[in-house]
Amino acid sequence: MLSYRRVDEAIARVESAVAVGVLVAMVLVASLQALFFNIAERNVGWAQSMLESLDWADAFLQKGTLWLAFIGASLATYHDKHIAIDVLPRLVAPPVRRVMQIVALTGAGAVAFLLAKVFYDACLVADQSVPFEYEVLTSQGPEHVCDAAPAELGTATAPMLLCGVRSAFAAIGVPVTSGGGAAQLITPLMFVVIGMRLWARAVIAGLTPPRDEAAIGALQPVASESSEPESSEPDPNKAESSEPASSEPEADATPRDDDDDGEDDSMTSGKKADES
């Protein structure tokens, strides 16, 4: 189990690095394309030539978006952040929830592998025809520029990068005719990775012994009763004994009104005047 987690973590790190690299490349290509387009509108010759050399930018941005989408889906499965409907598992007992989890992971993994096969066949069919720019006419008929003999190329030149990619895929039995067709294979590859992760988690969930949640739940009330704090209500006897006896009389807390004092003084002086 520990070795699986290490391998899965290493795969996730590679996926994250590839996603960051693709995203940075997409931002740079899109920025350069927009910059050269705005300059070329002012009839600047070198900008127009640079814009023509970026004729592959739109296809690259499309395939880059595809890569980011499926690599992100695989990383969401790794972090367990994919969409999940967990209303029913919350309503059942833990043993039933564990069985439901194993069944759901197994079924989702099977669907992922099935989609990988479907998309793989679709990618091969879509890339079966040789693009016009990669086709040359030889004595044997039209052939791919990478398969033609150097003497039959004429003025055409074989793209070294594409020919290297085709040779690498041909070594594992995957026919590729264009760079776009090779880039589309990220879809079945990521579905395979997602299916492997889901099945591995199903196996781990089946081999992991369930926790004795009933025993834990029975111990929780005992722990809560034993850890219940003492009552914070004060004892009146203790409170009376702890209050110090004060020998000074309590001062009148009611403030006297200055106007009342003035009226009392005037009444007293008036009485004295009458007596005299």
| C-alpha count within 13 angstroms, C-beta hemisphere, residue 223 | 6
pLDDT at 2 over 50: yes
Contact in structure between 177 and 128 (CB atoms under 8 Å): yes
Q: What is the pLDDT of residues 41-67, one digit of tens each?
A: 888 888 888 888 888 899 999 999 999
Q: What is the pLDDT of residues 90-102, one digit of tens each?
A: 888 888 888 888 9
Confidence band for 210, pLDDT divided at 50, 70 and 90: low
Q: Is residue 134 part of a domain?
A: no
Rounded to whole angstroms, how far apart are CA atoms 105 and 201?
7
Mean pLDDT of the 235-257 span: 48
Q: What is the pLDDT of residues 188-204, one digit of tens each?
A: 999 999 999 999 999 98
Q: What is the CA radius of gyration of the chain?
A: 41
Mean pLDDT of the 115-130 span: 92
> pTM of the entire structure?
0.69
**Phi/psi of residue 184, each to 5°?**
-70, -20
Rounded to whole angstroms, how far apart are CA atoms 247 and 94?
69
199-207 contact pairs (CB < 8 A, 24+) = 199/105, 199/106, 199/109, 200/4, 200/8, 201/105, 202/101, 202/102, 202/105, 202/106, 202/109, 204/1, 204/4, 205/98, 205/101, 205/102, 205/105, 206/102, 207/1
Rounded to whole angstroms, how far apart are CA atoms 275 and 165?
129
Domain holding 61, by residue range, is 2-127+178-210
Q: Is residue 251 part of a domain?
A: no
| Structure tokens that stand for 64 in this block | 């880059």
- Number of independent structural domains in the chain: 1
Confidence band for 128, pLDDT divided at 50, 70 and 90: confident
Q: Is residue 204 part of a domain?
A: yes
Mean pLDDT of the 253-257 span: 47
Q: Is residue 202 part of a domain?
A: yes
Q: Is residue 20 part of a domain?
A: yes
Q: Is residue 216 part of a domain?
A: no
